Structure 1
Amino acid sequence: MSETTSPLTRAERLDRLPVNREHHRLVVGSGIGWALDAMDVGLISFVMTALVAQWGLSNGEVSWIGSIGFVGMALGATLGGLLADRFGRRQVFALTLLVFGLATGAAALSWSVGALLVFRFLIGLGLGAELPVASTLVSEFAPARVRGRVVVLLEAFWAVGWTLAALIGYFVVPAGDDGWRWALALGAVPALYAVVVRRGLPESVRFLELRGRTDEAEATVRRFERAADVAPVPSPAPAPPTAPPGARALWTGGAGRRTAALWIVWFSINFAYYGAFIWLPTLLFNDGFSLVKSFQYTLIITLAQLPGYAVAAYLIEKWGRRPTLATFLLGSALGAGLFAAADADTAVLVTGMVLSFFNLGAWGALYAVTPEIYPTALRATGAGAAAGFGRLASIAAPLCVPLLVDAGGTGLVFATFAAFFLVAALAALALPELRGRSLDADPARGVTPSTLRG
């Protein structure tokens, strides 16, 4: 074992560690929950298309089915962040999986549009809370030198889940009149996985210290040190336990400018992404593609997300957070603009893949940036509030798509999305660059992190 006796805080002891099996367990354990979340969100786009064919729904009814879940997600993201800063990241993560898993299973029994809307709202409550809480938990364990890359890899599980949704949509939904019900029944799996999360994942060391639970914090750090074959060292006593500062602190001092820029990015990327991908199978179907072919194209376009995440994971530690996020947002704008002009099957497929590649890479970078710009006591609250504000755009986007289609067709829809991506790219340039810095450094005050030792 390596020998060192210099006093280090527990956060510094985590930062000095190489990535080891405990990090892998944390990322995979959180990532499975993330993938199940994505699968559930993705399934509704295929269910919407099937219900248009089976129930003869109007565009307005379909829009509300697409949007109502995001109403729940907006509320869930905000409340989930507040609860995670008060009761712990792991506890809230497990609760969110249970809520949206049970609600998805219940949605399979929907007997009317009204019933489906109620269940989709409940699903959204759990889905919205899960993502910012999971990314906060992972970011607080990842070593500073690779933290961005680790969080992008966590976000890459979204592509896995959306691909599962596309496969279920392609093979299960068209299989019969009850295909969409069986698809939603599969979405109940997260309720079972919540038990695994509650028992297997560690609680954030930084959160435990804030609550005065130093014995638990020390045991968790030593667990990660043993996995890395690194000897423990003395840690100074942490500050006395403090109460969470509350959401108002997001706008005080230097945090206000960061919060404003972050919220603009979240709002713009949510509008463009969910407007595009929730409606994509239906838009293709309405443009003359068969139900099966629209699902097939959506599946292929979805697969382009995976290399997008891989490139973003590499560049976020090579270039930094801000240039990677801005570049992928600009690439998303280009992809949406090209899709707007596509007029042949091959062009639709290729430009859709370009949009998918850059858009999901941008999402990975955004989830890496978001937890970094707030202190520990405010981290989950800040991440949840940004996600919650962004969900307002994901509510509006599916409702706006039919209006845009009526005004100018699919071309106007995706040209609008391109404009939102451009706005997000400009706002991203106002975010702080935190590559390699400790989570305990405050960029607003210009505090530099302690030198990482190990």
Structure 2
Amino acid sequence: MTTPDPLTSPPTSARPASNVIDDAPLTAFHRKLTMFCSGGPFLDGFALGVIGFALPQIADQWQLSGTWQGILAVAPLLGIPAVVGVGYLTDRLGRRIMYVADIAAITLLCIAQFFVTGPVELLVLRVLLGIAIGADYPIASSLLAEFAPRKSRAKLIGLQTIMWTAGNAAAYLVGAALLQLGPEAWRWILLSPAVIGALLAVLRIGTPESPRWLISKGRTDEALRVVQKVYGPDATLDGIGEESAPTRFQLVFQSPYLQRTIFVGTFWACSIAPVYAIYAFAPKLLEAFDLSGKGAVDIGSVLVGLFFLAGTILATLVADRWRRRTLLIWPFMIASAALLALGAFSDATAIVVVILFAVYALAIGGPTILQWIYPNEIFPTEIRATAFSIGLSVSRIGAIIGTFAVPVLLERTGISGTMIIVGVVSAVGAVSSLVMAPETNGRPLNEAAAPRGR
């Protein structure tokens, strides 16, 4: 008789020991914390979106080459690998300090962009801005995961991806409005995220430290005060299951966490690279399919964007009801099949092309929200933010490669070859998920993150 693998087998029928965090009802505290944590992705989508409105004016004033424009556009992604260091500091110093300090740093960097006098200054600031924005992901999501009830954990974390899209949409509205200020409008456009950042920094002040992190550092008295403040004077630390443990960076690359690190990096990169490529080049891709007229291309691009948003919303709504593996593997396979079909039938009618893109955009919603959920669930508190930041860095490297590869592939292999290659990348993520994805739905956070056999 074989022993079930605790990583991939579903939860047993035996109810885990209850505790005040995992089994708490969803309260106003959780909703407020979720809103404040969601501000980070909203700010990210906003700050990355407004550059599209500022860059043409900047290029005209500074006589920038196409290369310089491209570098400034992707500059925030270039700093993402440095986020690993911030994730490690978050595991060492705590969630609360970094939670406010990072948003304050984003605000100051946005203000500094207003005063730049040349492209080098702007490049440096946007790289630093990318580091600060990327750092908020592991900081805020780990804090949220460590307070979230297990029955609502996926929904609360999944909401973060929706807020990125909302921030990106808001950037289009604000950017278009600020362009009316004249030739120096680009300065106000780049400054505008600072308003959101300043407000968010103020709102985050007073957020309590994660009791799970406090316990992991041996500060149980402080942890008890936090849970009694949040959950009531009768709350205890019983059943939370955290243990005092040092934060060691190398633990992420040692058994049993090495396989989890490989899984997160692989599925995240393979799911996000095609998304970034399609977001960036939707008009060009649709034109390559010979859609008739610019109007048809624009409508198709808008529809694809709306379906991406709808996919993440639907996935978030069912995230706590479906098994994690179901939400990841089947949608991943459907999304990969849609991309491969676009390559195999590149001469299909316009309506078929748009439908296949829509199927892909809807299906990839499941893997997209799990990019945030899995790293927070399958790594223990002492390395949770570190592991998340590693997965994020690997994924953004994949996104950069995907974004730069699409125009090259279109030129060399045509639309058919491009979509087949992108589909194969997605399929690699689907297969790796089938082999390595754990099942964590309904499990207390400490149990989901526990090593095998623990």
Per the normalisation by structure 1, the TM-score is 0.82
- Unaligned 5+ runs, structure 2: 1-15
Matches within 5 A, 1:19-418: 19-45=26-52, 47=54, 60-76=67-83, 78-172=84-178, 177-226=183-232, 231-233=234-236, 235=238, 241-246=244-249, 248-280=250-282, 301-334=304-337, 336=339, 341=346, 353-408=358-413, 412-418=417-423
SS at 1:14 equivalent: coil
User: For residues 403 and 378 of structure 1, do their structure 2 counterparts lie closer, same or farther at Cα, with a shift above 3 Å needed?
Assistant: same
Question: Which moves more between the two structures, 356-365 or 284-293?
Answer: 284-293
Question: Which moves more between the two structures, 124-133 or 435-444?
Answer: 435-444
Question: Which moves more between the two structures, 378-387 or 345-354?
Answer: 345-354
CA distance in 2 between counterparts of 1:290 and 1:365 reads: 37
Per the TM alignment, residue 423 of structure 1 is displaced from its structure 2 partner at its CA by 1.5
User: For residues 397 and 234 of structure 1, do their structure 2 counterparts lie closer, same or farther at Cα, with a shift above 3 Å needed?
Assistant: closer
CA distance in 1 between counterparts of 2:213 and 2:52 reads: 37
User: For residues 15 and 308 of structure 1, do their structure 2 counterparts lie closer, same or farther at Cα, with a shift above 3 Å needed?
Assistant: same
CA distance in 2 between counterparts of 1:280 and 1:210 reads: 46
2:21 to 14, 18, 34: 14
SS at 2:86 equivalent: helix
Per the TM alignment, residue 65 of structure 1 is displaced from its structure 2 partner at its CA by 2.7
Deviations 1:221-241 (A, max 9, x none): 123324xxx942474898885
Per the TM alignment, residue 412 of structure 1 is displaced from its structure 2 partner at its CA by 4.9
CA distance in 1 between counterparts of 2:409 and 2:371 reads: 27
User: For residues 109 and 280 of structure 1, do their structure 2 counterparts lie closer, same or farther at Cα, with a shift above 3 Å needed?
Assistant: farther
CA distance in 1 between counterparts of 2:234 and 2:295 reads: 57
Question: Which moves more between the two structures, 78-87 or 393-402?
Answer: 393-402
Question: Which moves more between the two structures, 127-136 or 314-323?
Answer: 314-323
Given the alignment of the two structures, is residue 439 of structure 1 paired with residue 445 of structure 2, yes or no?
A: yes
Per the TM alignment, residue 165 of structure 1 is displaced from its structure 2 partner at its CA by 2.3
User: For residues 283 and 171 of structure 1, do their structure 2 counterparts lie closer, same or farther at Cα, with a shift above 3 Å needed?
Assistant: farther
User: For residues 421 and 238 of structure 1, do their structure 2 counterparts lie closer, same or farther at Cα, with a shift above 3 Å needed?
Assistant: closer
User: For residues 177 and 32 of structure 1, do their structure 2 counterparts lie closer, same or farther at Cα, with a shift above 3 Å needed?
Assistant: same
- Unaligned 5+ runs, structure 1: 1-7, 448-454
CA distance in 1 between counterparts of 2:297 and 2:181 reads: 15
Question: Which moves more between the two structures, 313-322 or 431-440?
Answer: 313-322
Given that residues 100 and 190 in structure 1 are in contact (C-alpha distance below 8 angstroms), is that contact kept between their aligned partners in structure 2? Answer: no
| Corresponding residue of 1:452 | none
Given that residues 313 and 364 in structure 1 are in contact (C-alpha distance below 8 angstroms), is that contact kept between their aligned partners in structure 2? Answer: yes
Per the TM alignment, residue 117 of structure 1 is displaced from its structure 2 partner at its CA by 2.2
CA distance in 2 between counterparts of 1:148 and 1:373 reads: 13
CA distance in 2 between counterparts of 1:100 and 1:266 reads: 25
Given that residues 133 and 384 in structure 1 are in contact (C-alpha distance below 8 angstroms), is that contact kept between their aligned partners in structure 2? Answer: no
Question: Which moves more between the two structures, 325-334 or 84-93?
Answer: 325-334
User: Which amino acid is the alignment partner of residue 44 of structure 1?
Assistant: I
CA distance in 2 between counterparts of 1:304 and 1:288 reads: 19
SS at 2:20 equivalent: helix
Question: Which moves more between the two structures, 290-299 or 362-371?
Answer: 290-299
Deviations 1:13-45 (A, max 9, x none): 111211111110110111122211221223335
CA distance in 2 between counterparts of 1:45 and 1:347 reads: 30
User: Which amino acid is the alignment partner of residue 304 of structure 1?
Assistant: F
CA distance in 2 between counterparts of 1:328 and 1:146 reads: 21
CA distance in 1 between counterparts of 2:186 and 2:414 reads: 27
